[in-house]
Structure formats: structure tokens, C-alpha cells
């Protein structure tokens, strides 16, 4: 039976479904883990920024005399608020500072003291509370990347001759790739960095398995036989497993140096695979070898034939030879000495500086090869290489499986934090290079950490990442759903990922491990399909970067329905487990009602008894993303249409009056809450004041919270009005709370911007009829009732921003003014004294928005001119109009204007500033003193009757001795920014309060400091503008767009169409009670598209409208046909809403019944006004002289080859000639034709098109002289 949840009748059958996790956790958690600001330095995990610092520091000079050590990093508050950054085109960033310690290890430098300094490392863009970054005034999102996980991969390929070849590839986080592969001759090779090839046994010799005996012992392939007659005679007839070598040492004199050099020589007495005979025995006895190796008679030994084959191909016989061979392969040269050759090989895979598997790589290798190597060993070990070779041999003998590259245990996610950490690592390694250089240069001087560091290094790397990286994207801000989806997107493209062209079908396809992790539905149509996907609703990304999804534990056929019964599993952890379906019917005690349960096991779907089930889905919605979960009756829609539906919901334009859907899925409230686009109560409290622009809340606080806080309990929120989004939509919110109302944490206090009453509301509930109407809804066209236009049901407001910059040119300074040369008074009537159009003015195409003049004198003014200018002012000078005019399709109302200026000071103003600045400092010092006095009073109160346990500063020096009493003087003397916060007293509770109190004090102090800097900056420099710009004016124009013919509309089921006709209300088909329908859709659009969900929605919507009820029908667990019938019966509607309609024009009944109900329709962002475009005369391309193309360039329509054929078919040669010449690129013909039209003369004959001249020039460039006779 349906139950009421959230004012909606809920059809879900699942008992206590798991609450959704925070939808933006992917971004926010990753960024917080990167910075770890809430963690004191001593407790920070070796992760993110902290890890990058600890990997690059300490830095020493070449002689190890000076060492620069890293102690801690912290950030200060941002200079500008988020709103200021958006308005002024600035980056919302925080200053990153590091505490560095510089000391000298050289005893000769007595005058060098250890220095500890806070060094500014540059601004770093800071994530806003809603998971975005503001870069140059635009909100951007860093998309998470899905890439191949570091670790070892086993694969296979088929050779042209039908041989199956196997390979193992080790992919590290950083360092050389190494691949082991077999070839058609059953020999195993190692490839270093994909190009250098060597037999595997050579590599084994080089890493310490020097001779054949050691190598064969790894695989347990040979037995030793002592070299004496009796033992050898027993082995006659068996094969040698290793060469018999004769070794000796030769001495000779080096001619250059005269030194005696000894060289070890080898001679092969007998080769491998030689069968022992009587004759051979004597040779072996003479060789001087102690033992020989004989093949074991083991049934499994044949599996290892590849090792013997490889040994036969191996050119080396000892470790030294192997090392030389590898060095030559890598460097194509001989090494200086043995040690350097060994070092090169060691650096490749065994050096922590050059090679890093990362936590993930080590974890994956240990899991795959069943090793228990310490997770901190982040380089390759000998065991790794041996185990990989053994696994590869098992593969060759069909005793193991190759890896599935598309399995989600082999793909991991690089979140924002990790991408930023990688960029920081690049920046810091560059910086450490310059630090070393500077240390070497300043060898004998006294210097400080600040002298060594160039802050630009890091910020240039970070800025280029945010500005140019493919994964840093301009946020899709059409509506809240578009925002949330963009932040939860996973892309396989980008640096270090795949490319569109090379990605095959397998990578894009849905894999069984996507279940509950990546949405099988939501993905773009087009070249990126399957490469860009969306995270499922319950999915999380774990610390190693693998996507995990929650399941309930099932023990002996009983499902654990408590919160403790839910655990997250990665794709690897759920391998081979049997997982029950989320909507399997259960009793209240968690036992299954049915005898058998439909389950999933990897890529199979067994039906098993309840006792065999290991886990159970937490909810049926688990497999889809947010957008797909918003489609009611998704289970009745074809997947292709569902894909279109979920993509089109992101394009729904926010309407003036929002309305939540009658038929929802129950996730709408959560999307609205987690999108962070609304104002939400942060805790319990009371609304103190509310109006259209402000909400003030008095939050409840406990005595302790009140005690440790330096902020008032009353918090004010500004409500955005007509704020422009990235896509020129409007965020215009209204309060939905009242003064005196009690609120709880998470209560939504505003609506608007595609939300209504705390729920996502992308469209409107319209009365829809499925029937043909006079052919106007042929091929998915839509017929609309005029009421929809008249009553602004589908009307939206769009805001465009226009800006103009004033620069200093070589010929003088530009100026904003309303006094523009050669422009009528009428054209400038709405401009103010700064030349900016007034708020409220109506704008039409061609109107001046911002008036600007630019000096244009070709030469320097003569002395006479200078005198005239001095007497009569600047206007005597030669200026040209450089105003910003409205584009051809712009019409609207000016709603806001802004002017930002740099401070250009006169001498008097500078003198005035000199007086003002000390006053500001004085004011700041008084505020800080007051703040410190409050802190000390509170600390005295906390530490009354307690003694110190030893209060220490950052360096560990005691500043209040152990056992001492806390006095006002001692507390006053402390520097609270550089003090350890733990263990002040023996009372842990008091310690916690002290720590919180000091943290809050420092926060408040930093805010005051930032305010001081901001005020000083405003006085001395004015508004911060990009370099070279003196002033910047901005104008915001709002356009009200009613829906009209040519606009695109859609339902939630992929049923999209273009409005073809807006019909008068009286002509629309109407119901028996006279109600005209709002919209007529073509019924032929349903059966072939197989999105029957829209019919279910229409029928249930009709019942809801009639009864005034809203429904929630979660996907895969929603209302059944019986439920629909029950509700239509309650509403007194016919079954399936098959209704008799009447023709609006004649009043007669239509022949057939039609389905009439209420559907939720969206207006999409493809609006006809943005696409309408016409041109008469406009710009031409520079070389071909043909008109440009596209609306943005004010271009023409291309008359392409097919159009030419059509005109040729009609024999209209003169029309064609005209089109190809004077209407396009016959330059002289164009101007003559214009003259002829103006003077009323006969049209000239067309000349030569410019494109022919271009062709001739190209031919001449090829050395062919072509002339026209």
C-alpha cells in the first residue's frame, strides 16, 4: 500500500531504504582531504598537499651545507568574497603559506643562525561550498577522471599465425613501464618503456639471479649433481639443464695507465640440453665445476619449457654481462664503469625517487599475486618480478585467466584533490630546482627562506591547470540538476586518459561491474558516448580511488535491515558473491517471502534459495544516476529514450513560476538540498527577520558553543535576485519561510531557479492529449494552447552580461563618456555621465550600451595642437567611437550596471591617504586588542585552579612551564598563532575547549587581518582589475522569453519536439466539461520509441491533478498498472484516461477516444530566438573574400554544392552566376552592384570571383604559371 512521504504518496515497496549520501561528496571530500585544514599538523595523513610537501622537502644544496626543511602549511582567508570575484572577473583564491626552517650544517659558518619563516607560496584557487572553483569570474568544475589503475595487468593477443601471445604490464604512478611478453617461438621477453627488448632471464641475472642454477631454482626445474664419476654415471642419458662453463682470470697490463688489470673469462664447455654420455663425463670433470644441473623428471616441468627457450636466447652468462647488455640496450653506449651501469638499472624500478607504484599499485599487485609485501614498499621488488613471470607461465599453460581491462577493479578515479596534488608536485619540483640553484649561488652570504622562493612557480602551474586542462570545465549552470550532474561526472578523456578517436567499443560499453557504480543510462549521445558517465546515486569513491556501492549483509537467508548491516563494496570485493535484487519481498524480520530469490553473480543471473544469498541491494534505484532516477516509470522506457530524457532534463530552462511535478520519484527534494543552490538552515534556530533580499536566523547554541565562539549567534543570508548563471539563465530566489518560524538543520528556506517548495521543479504540469491535430504535430511537432503563452506558464528570464574595458593605448587614454562624436542625441539619451546606460532602459538591436572614445591620431600632436588641447580640453583631439552596441538579436531591459576603476591619485589624494592608512591600522589594532582581551578572560576562566602541563610552541619549547599556574601576564605574552593546542592541562575536556577557543580566535583574527588588507588595498589601488586595464564597465540586460513556435520542448522520457503552432484557446480540443487541453502530442511518437513511461505518467498525473495529490514513484519500484487503476477509479476518471474529446473549432466529438492526462513538460535551452539570424551585407573572409558563416560572425548562408546542382537542374544559369559572383566573392562586382541599385541603373555583368584568384596564386606557389586570356 502506498504511504505518504514528504507530502507525496509513495509507491515504494522497499522497507527502510538507505538515505542517499551527499551528492556533492565526490568533490567536497576530495578537496578537504587534499588540504586537510581541519587536522592539526601533527595528525595529518600523508596525503594530498602534505604528501607533496614531504616528498619535495627537505631541500639541500649540492654540498649539503644548507638545508631547507618544511614544518607546516596553512592558508589565510581570501581577499575577496565569492560575489566580488564573480562580479569583477577575479579568481576566488586563498594565500598558501608554508612554515619553513633553514639551517646550516657547515661548522665553518658560525654567523648563520637557524631561521624559521612563514613564506608565501602563491594563491591557490579555493573550492566554494558548492563544489566549484571561481576562475577569472567564471564558475568552473574539475571533473573526476576514470583511468587505468596502477598495478599489474595480464592480457593476451592473437598473432597473425594463430598463436596466442600473453603479456604482463606493470603500470606505475610514476616511472618506467615494464612489460613481459611471450612471442611465437615461446620465448619470454621484457620490454622497458615499450621499446627496449631483452630476454627475461637477462633481467633476472641483472637483479641478482646470476647463473642458470639460480634461475632454474626459482622455478624448481633442475637438480644438482656433484661432479664425481659415480654421481655422473648415474645421470647418463639425462639432459643438462644449464651450461657447463670453464672460468679463469686473465691479467694484462693497461697500455695507457700501466696498471695490471684482471678480467674474468668464460668458455662454454657444454651447452644446455646436451644428453650426458660416457664421453661427456670427462669434459665435465676437467672443467673444474663443482656441480652440474640436470633436468628434473617432473610432470609439470614441461610447463616451463619457455624458461629453457629463453635461456637459450639469453646472450649473457653472468650478472655483470647481463647488466652491461641491459645498459647498452637502454643507452646505446657502453657504461663508464660497472657501478654506474648497476645504478641505471636500480634507478629504473627500485629507486623511490624515480619509481612509484603508489598505494594503489602496491595494493593491486599484492592482491593479484597473493603477496604480503608491506604496503609502504612503493617500488618493485624481486618477488614481484618473479611472481609475475610465474603467473605469465601459468597463462601460457592455460592455468590462469587474463584480466578484463574494463572491469572496474582495473579502473580508478582521479578526483579533484589528486589532480591538484599532481599539479602541485610539478610546481614544487620546479621550485625546488630554483631553490637549489639559489642556495649554490649564495654560498657565503646570510640568507632567509624568503630569498630562496619564487612564488610565481607554483601559481603559474596551478593557473594553467585551471585555465587549460581538459578536465577543468566551465560549469553547466542551466539548472540545479545540470550543476550536480556536472560535479558527479566521470570522464575517461583528458590528459593520461583515452582519446575519442582511439577508444573502441569495449571501453564504452556497459560492464557488469558498473552495477551501482556507473550509470548505464546517462551518457552523452555522439562521439563521447560511454567515455563520459555519471556516478550512481549511492556510489562513493574510496581512499584508493575505486568506486564502491553499498549492499546489505545477508546471513543464512536473513537480511540485516539495520544501518549496521550496510557496507560498501568495490568491484573486486563483490567478485563471485551472490547479490539479491533490491525489491525482493521481505518480511519485517528480514526473511525472504519467496522460496527463491533472483540474484546477480558477476555477469550471471542465477535464481537461488535465500540461504545462498550473500548480499542484497540497498534499493532498486541503486543502479542509476541522479538524472535517470528523476524519470518516473523509467522501467517502462526504452534505454535509448531514457538516455535522451536524462540528458534533456539538464537542459531545462528555469521558469518564472516553478511547479513541482505531480508524478515524481522521491529524489527531487534531495537534489534540491544537495545542489547547494538554495539557502538552507545550518542548524536548529528561529527566523529572526525575512524579506525579499535577506533572511536572518538566530541559531540555538549550547553554553559551551557560546563560550568558545567569537561570532554572534545571529547569521544573515543574502537572497540572490536576478543573478546571471554561466548559461545566461537567472537565479532569482524567493523566501518560503516566515518570521518567528522554527527551523531545523537542512530545512530549505527559499525557492526559485527550478525548485519549488524545497523540491526540484524543472518544468510544468500540463494537460496533454495524445492525438493528431490537423497535421500540425506530424513528426514530433507540438501544438500548444495560447493560454500557456499568455499566462507565462513556460516563460523564462535570461540575463546577458556585456562588459567594456578602458585601456591605456599608445595614442593616449581611452575614456568612458556619453559625449560620442557623430552620434545623435537620441542615441545617447539613456547614457549617464560615465557613458553607461541607465538601469531600466529598454534595449533594442544597435543601441549603445556603453559609450567609449579612443584617441586615433596617426602622428604625435604638434605644439600648436597641444596648446589648443590645453585651452579647450581634450575634445579638440581626434577621437573615434569605440562604444559597445547591442547585437542584432538583443532586446531586453537593463537590470544592473557596474563600474570598476583603478585608483589614479593626485598629490592631494595621496597625502590624504597617508593620514587615512594609519587610522585604519589603529582601528585594526584596537579590534585585535579587544579580541585578545576576550580570549584571555575566557582562558583564565577555563584554567582557574588548574596548573600547566607544559604549554609548548611550534618548536617544542615550553612557554608556560609544567606545574606553573596560568596567569594573565603569561597568557598575554603568548603568540597564539604559533602554539601547540594539546595537553595544556590535565583535564581533557578543558583541553578540548581551550583548543576550540584558540582555533576560533585565530579564525576571527585572520578575518580581521584580511579585512584590514582589503581596506588598505581599496584605498591605495582601488578595484583589482587585470593588468593593463584602467576601468571596466558592465551592463546586465534581462530578456523575458515567452515560449513560441520553433522552441524545443520535451517530457522526461526522451519525448522531445518543436512547437509548431500556438493555437487560440477556443480552437483547442476540449474535454466534456469544456476544459481545453494545454498541449497536443502525436500518439505515433510512442509505440516505435517504446517510451511507455510517458503514458503511465500521464494517467497517474491526471488522477493526482483531480484529487490534489502528489505522487512519488521510485524507479524500478514504482506504481504498478493496478495502482494506476486504483487511483483513476478514486478520481472518477476512465481507465487509462481514454477520454472523449471535442473539436474546438466545430464543437463536434472526435471519432476516437484519446489519452488525456497531466504530463510534466520542460522547456529546453534551444530557443528559436538564439538561432534566428538574417544577413544582407556583412563581414567577408580575408583571403577568399566570401561571406563568413555562422550567427556569431554575422555570416551568410552557404550555397553548397548540392544547392548548386539544384539550380543547375533548373537551368537557371544567370541566378547561379549572380550567387557565385556578386552575392559572394566578386569584389569589384559587389560594389558596382551596390552603386547600380542606389542609382537605379542596370546591374553590371559579373566579374571574376576572388576564389579563382586564390586558386591561381596557389598554382603559382607550386611553380605553375597560369594566366587568364
For the chain, how many helices (H) and strands (E)?
33, 61
Q: In 258-374, which ranges are E strands? A: 260-270, 291-295
Q: Which residue has the higher pLDDT, 1250 or 906?
A: 1250
The whole-number pLDDT of residue 2 equals 46
Q: What does the pLDDT average to over 885-902?
A: 90
State the pLDDT confidence band at 1, using cuts at 50, 70 and 90. very low
Mean pLDDT for the stretch of residues 1229-1253: 90
Taking residues 386-402, report their average pLDDT. 89
Question: In 10 A of CB 544, how many CB atoms?
Answer: 16
Please determine, for residue 4, whether its predicted confidence score (pLDDT) is greater than 60. no
For residue 548, the cross-strand partners are 540, 570
Of residues 223 and 9, the one with the higher pLDDT is 9
Average pLDDT over residues 933-946: 73
Nearest one of 630, 599, 638, 643 to 508, comparing CA atoms: 643
Of 144, 36, 149, 173, the closest CA to residue 415 belongs to 144
- Of the two residues 657 and 956, the one the predictor is more confident about is 657
- The answer to whether residues 559 and 545 touch, using CB atoms and an 8 Å cutoff, is no
Please choose, from the candidates 411, 582, 368, 619, the residue with its C-alpha nearest in 3D space to the C-alpha of residue 513: 411
Residue that wins the pLDDT comparison between 753 and 351:
753
Looking at residues 997-1021, what average pLDDT do you find?
78
Give pLDDT, residue 465: 95
Q: Own/partner pairs for 1239-1246, CB < 8 Å, 24+ apart?
A: 1246/1217, 1246/1218, 1246/1220, 1246/1221, 1246/1222
Per-residue pLDDT tens for 436-459?
Answer: 888 888 766 778 888 888 889 999
Separation CA 16–CA 538 (nearest Å): 15
Nine-digit cell string for 287: 672443467
How many angstroms from the chain centroid is the CA of residue 793? 35
Q: What is the DSSP letter of 1181?
A: -
Name the average pLDDT for the chain: 87
**pLDDT value for 300:** 60
512 band by pLDDT with thresholds 50, 70 and 90: very high
Question: Per-residue confidence at 278, pLDDT binned at 50, 70, 90?
Answer: low
- How does residue 332 score in pLDDT terms, banded at 50, 70 and 90? confident
∠ CA(90), CA(92), CA(94), 5° rounding? 125
Give the per-residue pLDDT at 516: 93
Q: How far apart are the first and last CA of the chain?
A: 91
Nearest partner of 1073 among 1150, 1142, 1158, judged by Cα: 1142
Work out the average pLDDT over 1164-1176. Answer: 82
**Mean pLDDT, residues 34-53:** 85
Provide the 10 A C-beta neighbour count for residue 389.
23
Answer for the pair 347, 323: CB distance below 8 angstroms, yes or no. no
Contact of 582 with 1117, CB cutoff 8 Å = yes
Is the model's pLDDT at 745 over the cut of 80?
yes
Strands 1138-1139, 1154-1163: pairing is: antiparallel
pLDDT of residue 270: 67
Q: CA-CA-CA-CA torsion for 709, 712, 714, 719, nearest 10 degrees?
A: -100
C-beta neighbour count of 701 within 10 angstroms = 16
Q: What percent of the chain has pLDDT over 90?
A: 49
Report residue 176 as a C-alpha cell.
618506467
What is the Cα–Cα distance from 847 to 828, expressed in whole angstroms?
9
Distances (CA, A) of 773 to 471, 765, 990: 47, 21, 77
Beta bridge partners of 960: 951
What is the pLDDT, as a whole number, of residue 876? 47
Contact (CB, 8 A) for 759 and 827: no
CA distance 671 to 758: 9
pLDDT at 326: 86
pLDDT category at 532 given cuts 50, 70, 90 is: very high
In the predicted structure, residue 1000 carries a pLDDT above the cut 70: yes
The beta-strand segments (E) located in 111-161 are 115-125, 133-135, 138-142, 144-148, 151-158
Q: How confident is the model at residue 272 (pLDDT cuts 50, 70, 90)?
A: low
Q: Residues near 317 by Cβ (< 8 Å), separated by ≥ 6? A: 211, 243, 245, 266, 268
pLDDT tens-digit readout, 285-329: 666 566 777 766 665 666 778 888 888 888 888 888 888 888 888
Name the more confident of 452 and 762.
762
Contact 238, 295 (CB under 8 A): yes
Q: Give the up-direction half-sphere exposure of residue 794: CA atoms within 13 A in the CB hemisphere.
A: 29
Distance, CA of 367 to chain centre = 29
H or E stretch including 742? strand 742-743
Given pLDDT bands bounded at 50, 70 and 90, which one contains residue 903? confident
The answer on pLDDT for 1192 being more than 90 is: no
Out of 241-245, 358-362, 484-488, 808-812, pick the least confident. Answer: 241-245
Q: How many CA atoms lie within 13 A of 129 on its CB side?
A: 12
Which segment of 241-245, 767-771, 1081-1085 scores lowest on mean pLDDT? 241-245
pLDDT at residue 1267, as a whole number: 87
Residues 6+ apart with CB under 8 A from 585: 13, 592, 593, 594
pLDDT digit string, tens, across residues 804-857: 999 988 888 888 998 888 888 888 899 999 899 999 999 999 999 999 999 876
Q: What is the pLDDT of residues 468-497, one digit of tens each?
A: 999 999 999 999 999 999 999 999 999 989
3-state secondary structure of 1143: coil
Separation between Cα atoms, residue 737 and residue 756, nearest integer Å = 13
Strand partners, 1031: 806, 901
Amino acid at each position: 500500500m502506498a504511504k505518504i512521504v514528504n507530502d507525496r504518496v509513495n509507491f515504494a515497496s522497499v522497507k527502510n531504504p538507505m538515505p542517499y549520501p551527499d551528492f556533492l561528496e565526490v568533490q567536497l571530500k576530495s578537496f578537504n582531504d587534499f588540504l586537510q585544514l581541519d587536522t592539526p599538523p601533527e595528525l595529518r595523513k600523508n596525503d594530498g598537499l602534505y604528501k607533496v610537501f614531504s616528498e619535495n622537502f627537505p631541500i639541500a644544496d649540492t654540498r649539503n651545507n644548507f638545508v631547507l626543511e618544511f614544518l607546516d602549511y596553512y592558508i589565510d582567508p581570501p581577499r575577496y568574497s565569492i560575489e566580488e570575484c564573480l562580479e569583477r572577473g577575479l579568481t576566488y583564491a586563498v594565500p598558501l603559506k608554508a612554515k619553513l626552517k633553514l639551517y646550516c650544517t657547515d661548522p665553518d659558518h658560525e654567523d648563520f643562525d637557524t631561521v624559521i619563516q612563514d613564506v608565501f607560496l602563491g594563491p591557490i584557487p579555493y573550492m566554494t561550498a558548492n563544489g566549484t572553483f571561481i576562475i577569472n569570474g567564471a564558475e568552473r568544475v574539475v571533473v573526476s577522471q576514470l583511468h587505468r589503475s596502477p598495478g599489474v595487468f595480464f592480457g593476451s593477443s592473437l598473432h597473425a599465425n594463430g598463436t596466442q601471445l600473453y603479456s604482463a604490464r606493470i603500470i606505475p604512478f610514476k616511472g618506467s613501464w615494464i612489460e613481459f611478453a611471450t612471442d611465437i617461438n615461446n620465448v619470454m621477453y621484457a620490454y622497458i618503456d615499450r621499446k627496449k627488448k631483452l630476454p627475461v632471464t637477462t633481467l633476472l641475472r641483472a637483479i641478482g639471479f646470476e647463473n642458470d642454477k639460480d634461475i632454474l631454482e626459482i622455478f624448481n626445474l633442475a637438480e644438482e649433481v656433484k661432479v664425481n664419476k659415480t654421481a655422473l654415471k648415474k645421470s647418463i642419458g639425462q639432459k643438462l639443464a644449464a651450461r657447463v662453463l670453464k672460468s679463469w682470470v686473465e691479467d694484462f697490463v693497461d697500455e695507457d695507465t700501466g696498471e695490471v688489470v684482471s678480467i674474468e673469462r668464460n668458455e662454454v664447455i657444454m651447452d644446455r640440453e646436451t644428453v650426458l654420455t660416457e664421453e661427456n663425463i670427462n669434459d665435465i670433470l676437467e672443467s673444474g665445476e663443482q656441480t652440474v644441473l640436470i633436468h628434473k623428471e617432473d610432470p609439470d616441468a614441461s610447463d616451463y619449457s619457455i624458461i629453457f627457450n629463453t635461456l637459450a636466447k639469453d646472450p649473457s652468462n653472468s650478472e655483470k654481462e647481463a647488466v652491461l647488455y641491459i645498459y647498452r640496450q637502454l643507452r646505446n653506449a657502453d657504461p663508464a664503469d660497472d657501478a654506474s651501469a648497476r645504478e641505471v638499472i636500480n634507478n629504473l624500478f627500485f629507486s623511490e625517487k624515480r619509481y612509484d607504484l603508489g598505494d594503489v599499485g602496491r595494493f593491486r599487485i599484492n592482491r593479484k599475486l597473493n603477496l604480503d609485501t608491506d604496503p609502504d614498499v612503493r617500488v618493485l621488488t624481486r618477488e614481484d618480478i618473479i611472481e609475475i613471470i610465474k603467473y605469465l607461465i601459468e597463462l601460457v599453460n592455460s592455468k590462469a585467466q587474463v584480466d578484463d581491462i574494463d572491469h572496474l577493479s582495473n579502473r580508478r578515479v582521479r578526483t579533484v584533490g589528486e589532480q591538484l596534488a599532481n599539479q602541485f608536485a610539478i610546481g614544487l619540483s620546479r621550485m625546488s630546482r630554483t631553490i637549489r640553484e639559489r642556495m649554490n649561488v649564495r654560498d657565503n652570504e646570510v640568507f632567509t627562506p624568503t630569498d630562496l622562493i619564487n612564488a610565481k612557480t607554483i601559481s603559474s602551474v596551478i593557473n594553467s591547470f585551471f585555465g587549460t586542462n581538459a578536465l577543468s570545465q566551465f560549469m553547466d549552470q542551466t539548472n540545479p540538476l545540470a550543476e550536480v550532474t556536472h560535479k558527479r561526472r566521470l570522464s575517461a578523456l583528458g590528459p593520461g586518459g583515452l582519446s575519442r578517436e582511439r577508444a573502441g567499443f569495449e571501453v564504452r560499453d556497459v560492464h557488469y561491474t558498473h552495477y551501482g557504480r556507473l550509470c548505464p543510462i546517462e551518457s552523452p549521445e555522439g562521439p563521447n558516448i560511454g567515455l563520459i558517465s555519471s556516478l550512481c546515486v549511492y556510489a562513493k569513491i574510496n581512499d584508493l580511488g575505486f568506486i564502491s556501492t553499498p549492499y546489505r549483509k545477508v546471513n543464512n537467508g536473513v537480511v540485516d535491515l539495520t544501518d549496521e548491516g550496510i557496507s560498501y563494496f568495490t568491484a573486486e570485493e563483490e567478485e563471485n558473491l551472490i547479490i539479491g535484487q533490491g525489491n525482493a519481498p521481505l518480511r519485517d524480520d528480514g526473511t525472504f517471502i519467496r522460496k527463491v530469490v533472483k540474484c546477480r553473480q558477476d555477469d550471471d543471473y542465477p535464481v537461488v534459495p535465500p540461504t545462498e544469498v550473500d548480499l542484497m541491494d540497498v534499493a532498486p534505484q541503486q543502479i542509476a544516476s541522479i538524472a535517470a532516477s528523476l524519470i518516473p516509470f523509467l522501467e517502462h522506457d526504452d534505454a535509448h529514450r531514457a538516455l535522451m530524457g536524462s540528458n534533456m532534463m539538464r537542459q531545462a530552462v528555469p521558469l518564472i513560476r516553478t511547479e513541482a511535478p505531480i508524478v515524481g520519484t522521491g529524489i527531487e527534494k534531495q537534489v534540491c538540498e544537495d545542489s547547494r543552490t538554495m539557502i538552507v538552515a545550518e542548524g536548529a534556530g528561529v527566523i529572526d527577520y525575512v524579506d525579499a533580499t535577506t533572511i536572518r536566523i538566530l541559531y540555538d547554541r549550547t553554553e559551551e558553543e557560546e563560550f568558545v565562539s567569537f561570532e554572534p549567534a545571529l547569521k544573515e543570508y543574502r537572497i540572490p535576485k536576478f543573478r546571471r548563471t554561466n548559461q545566461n539563465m537567472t537565479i532569482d530566489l524567493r523566501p518560503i519561510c516566515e518570521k518567528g518560524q522554527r527551523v531545523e538543520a537542512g530545512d530549505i528556506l527559499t525557492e526559485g531557479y527550478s525548485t519549488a517548495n524545497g523540491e526540484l521543479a524543472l518544468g510544468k504540469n500540463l494537460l496533454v492529449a495524445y492525438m493528431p491535430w490537423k497535421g500540425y504535430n506530424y513528426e514530433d511537432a507540438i501544438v500548444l494552447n495560447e493560454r500557456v503563452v499568455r499566462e507565462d506558464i513556460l516563460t523564462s528570464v535570461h540575463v546577458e552580461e556585456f562588459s567594456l574595458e578602458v585601456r591605456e593605448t599608445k595614442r593616449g587614454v581611452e575614456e568612458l563618456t556619453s559625449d560620442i562624436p557623430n552620434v545623435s542625441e537620441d542615441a545617447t539619451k539613456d547614457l549617464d555621465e560615465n557613458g553607461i546606460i541607465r538601469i531600466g532602459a529598454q534595449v533594442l538591436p544597435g543601441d549603445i550600451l556603453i559609450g567609449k572614445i579612443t584617441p586615433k591620431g596617426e602622428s604625435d600632436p604638434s605644439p600648436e595642437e597641444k596648446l589648443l588641447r590645453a585651452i579647450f580640453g581634450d575634445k579638440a583631439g581626434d577621437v573615434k567611437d569605440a562604444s559597445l552596441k547591442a547585437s542584432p538579436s538583443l532586446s531586453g531591459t537593463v537590470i544592473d550596471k557596474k563600474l570598476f576603476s583603478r585608483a589614479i591619485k593626485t598629490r592631494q589624494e595621496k597625502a590624504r591617504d597617508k593620514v587615512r592608512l594609519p587610522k585604519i591600522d589603529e582601528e585594526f589594532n584596537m579590534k585585535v586588542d579587544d579580541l585578545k582581551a576576550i580570549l584571555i578572560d575566557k582562558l583564565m576562566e577555563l584554567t582557574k585552579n588548574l596548573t600547566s602541563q607544559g604549554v609548548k610552541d611550534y618548536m617544542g619549547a615550553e612557554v608556560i612551564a609544567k606545574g606553573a599556574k596560568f596567569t594573565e601576564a603569561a597568557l598575554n605574552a603568548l603568540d597564539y598563532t604559533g602554539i601547540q593546542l594539546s595537553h595544556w592541562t590535565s583535564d581533557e575536556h578543558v583541553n578540548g575547549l581551550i583548543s576550540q577557543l584558540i582555533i576560533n580566535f585565530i579564525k576571527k583574527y585572520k578575518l580581521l587581518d584580511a579585512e584590514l588588507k582589503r581596506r588598505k588595498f581599496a584605498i591605495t589601488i582601488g578595484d583589482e582589475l587585470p593588468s593593463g586595464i584602467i576601468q571596466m564597465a558592465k551592463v546586465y540586460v534581462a530578456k523575458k522569453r515567452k515560449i513560441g513556435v520553433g522552441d524545443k520542448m520535451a517530457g522526461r522520457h526522451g519525448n522531445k519536439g518543436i512547437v509548431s503552432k500556438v493555437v487560440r484557446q477556443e480552437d483547442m480540443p476540449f474535454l466534456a466539461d469544456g476544459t481545453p487541453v494545454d498541449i497536443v502530442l502525436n500518439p505515433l511518437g510512442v509505440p516505435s520509441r517504446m517510451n511507455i513511461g510517458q503514458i503511465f505518467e500521464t494517467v497517474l498525473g491526471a488522477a493526482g491533478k483531480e484529487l490534489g495529490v502528489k505522487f512519488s514513484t521510485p524507479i524500478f519500484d514504482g506504481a504498478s498498472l493496478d495502482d494506476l487503476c486504483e487511483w483513476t477509479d478514486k478520481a472518477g476518471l476512465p481507465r487509462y484516461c481514454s477520454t472523449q474529446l471535442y473539436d474546438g473549432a466545430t464543437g463536434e466529438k472526435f471519432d476516437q477516444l484519446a489519452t488525456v492526462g497531466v504530463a510534466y513538460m520542460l522547456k529546453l535551452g534551444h530557443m528559436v530566438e538564439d538561432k534566428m539570424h538574417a544577413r544582407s551585407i556583412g563581414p567577408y573572409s580575408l583571403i577568399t573574400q566570401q561571406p563568413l558563416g555562422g550567427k556569431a560572425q554575422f555570416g551568410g548562408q552557404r550555397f553548397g554544392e548540392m544547392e548548386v546542382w539544384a539550380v543547375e537542374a533548373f537551368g537557371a544559369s544567370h541566378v547561379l552566376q549572380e550567387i557565385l559572383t556578386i552575392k559572394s566573392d566578386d569584389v569589384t562586382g559587389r560594389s558596382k552592384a551596390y552603386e547600380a541599385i542606389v542609382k537605379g541603373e542596370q546591374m553590371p555583368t559579373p566579374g571574376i570571383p576572388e576564389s579563382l584568384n586564390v586558386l591561381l596564386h596557389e598554382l603559382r606557389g607550386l611553380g605553375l604559371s597560369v594566366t587568364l586570356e
